[in-house]
């Protein structure tokens, strides 16, 4: 059988080894993948590049969009990994650019934009994360082709990367930074909708809106019950 991700058993023939041995190897490989993702996530934490809540929320949203699209487990796993590690390449950027509170200069912006390629360079070296590395490489592409690094357009942007782009932008709009207050959920959603078809895949925005709507409902219910 010559299909699927070789790291997840796609190229192994179960008849060549005992089923138990096959399952044991698959489990070992899955554990290795999980360990690699955890270790790299810890690096992001050590570098103070995100908070646990940010990543959990973003990953959960991305997976829910993937599930609404009916994606297979392999792809969901890649999306989960990419949601956690999409900014891993920022580790290669100087702190004075990374944590600059004000507006970046043109040169600094150019450097900052390198983070998706740096991330791809790191993750592609890990066999189980080859697919994830492509989602990381393209997570700043725009649906109309104006993004980076490839200037890819529409469906040429990997689906997982289009999903990560939407949830990452939404999460960034909600998050309070040292230099600005986070936006209310309704306003962030309005801005996302405004960029559907230009920056973002309109279908992903539409699906995400359904999820955000139900989250809004839960939040307002919690606020009512706490009052
Ligand atoms: Fe990024």
Residue list, CB under 5 A from ion ligand 1: 87
DSSP 181: P
32 is a domain residue: no
Kindly provide the b/e burial profile for residues 48-73, where b requires at least 16 CB atoms within 10 angstroms of the residue's own CB.
Answer: ebbeeeebebbbebbbbbbeeeebee
Q: Is residue 34 part of a domain?
A: no
pTM, entire model: 0.85
Number of domains in the chain: 1
Residue 135 lies in a domain: yes
Q: What is the domain-level CATH number for residue 100? A: 1.10.3210.10
Å from CA of 20 to ligand 1 middle: 41
Name the token pair of 131.
Answer: 């697919």
Instruction: Please give the distance, rounded to the nearest whole angstrom, from the Cα atom of residue 92 to the centre of ligand 1.
Output: 13
| Nearest-angstrom CA–CA distance, 147 and 153 | 8
Residue 63: its pLDDT value, please? 96
Residue 86 Cα to ligand 1 middle (Å): 6
Give Cα separations from 214 to 34, 171, 202, 211 (angstroms). Answer: 30, 16, 19, 5
Cα distance between residue 204 and residue 193, in whole Å: 10
Residue 220 CA, ligand 1 centroid: distance in Å: 30
Print pLDDT tens along the chain (227 aa): 444 565 665 555 656 668 888 888 888 888 899 999 999 998 888 887 766 667 888 899 999 999 999 999 999 999 999 999 999 999 999 999 998 888 899 999 999 999 999 999 999 999 899 999 999 999 999 999 999 999 999 999 999 999 999 999 999 898 877 677 889 988 999 999 999 999 999 999 999 999 887 776 565 454 444 43
Q: Which domain holds residue 77?
A: 50-226
Structural domain contains residue 74: yes
CA of 140 to the centre of ligand 1 (A): 6
Q: Is residue 13 assigned to a domain? A: no
Rounded to 10 degrees, the C-alpha dihedral 6/8/12/14 comes to -170
CA of 168 to the centre of ligand 1 (A): 8
Q: How far is the CA of 87 from the centre of ligand 1 (A)?
A: 5
> 165: Cβ–Cβ under 8 A, 6 or more apart, which residues?
139, 140, 141, 142, 147, 157, 199, 200, 201, 204
Tell me if 175 sits within 8 A of 181, measured CB to CB.
no
Task: Calculate how far, in angstroms, residue 4's C-alpha sits from the geometric centre of ligand 1.
Answer: 27
Distance 115 CA to ligand 1 centre (A): 7
Using the mean position of ligand 1's atoms as its centre, give its distance from the Cα of residue 136 in Å. Answer: 8
The Å distance, Cα 138 to ligand 1 centre, comes to 9
Q: Is residue 27 part of a domain?
A: no
Residue 84 lies in a domain: yes
Distances, alpha carbon 177 to alpha carbons 48, 75, 109, 151, in Å = 13, 32, 18, 28
DSSP category for residue 177: B
Among 214, 67, 94, 82, CA closest to 141: 82
What's the confidence (pLDDT) of residue 114?
A: 97
Is the CB of residue 22 less than 8 Å from the CB of residue 14? yes
Task: Give 180's strand partners.
Answer: 177
Q: Does 4 map to a domain?
A: no
Strand partners, 177: 180
């Amino acid at each position: 059988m010559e299909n699927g991700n070789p790291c997840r058993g796609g190229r192994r023939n179960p008849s060549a080894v005992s089923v138990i041995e096959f399952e044991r190897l698959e489990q070992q490989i899955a554990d290795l993948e999980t360990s690699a993702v955890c270790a790299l996530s810890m690096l992001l934490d050590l570098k103070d590049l995100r908070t646990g809540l940010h990543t959990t929320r973003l990953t959960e949203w991305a997976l829910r969009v993937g599930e609404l699209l009916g994606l297979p487990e392999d792809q969901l796993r890649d999306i989960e990994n990419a949601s956690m590690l999409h900014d891993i390449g920022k580790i290669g950027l100087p702190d004075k650019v990374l944590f600059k509170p004000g507006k970046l200069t043109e040169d600094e912006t150019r450097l900052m934009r390198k983070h998706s390629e740096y991330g791809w360079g790191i993750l592609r070296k890990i066999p189980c994360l080859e697919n994830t590395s492509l989602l990381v490489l393209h997570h700043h592409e725009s649906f109309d082709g104006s993004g980076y690094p490839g200037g890819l357009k529409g469906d040429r942007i990997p689906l997982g990367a289009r999903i990560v782009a939407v949830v990452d932008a939404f999460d960034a709009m909600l998050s309070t930074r040292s230099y600005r207050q986070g936006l209310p959920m309704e306003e962030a959603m309005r801005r996302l909708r405004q960029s559907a078809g230009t920056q973002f895949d309109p279908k992903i925005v539409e699906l995400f809106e359904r999820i955000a709507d139900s989250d809004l409902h839960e939040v307002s219910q919690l606020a009512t019950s706490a009052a």
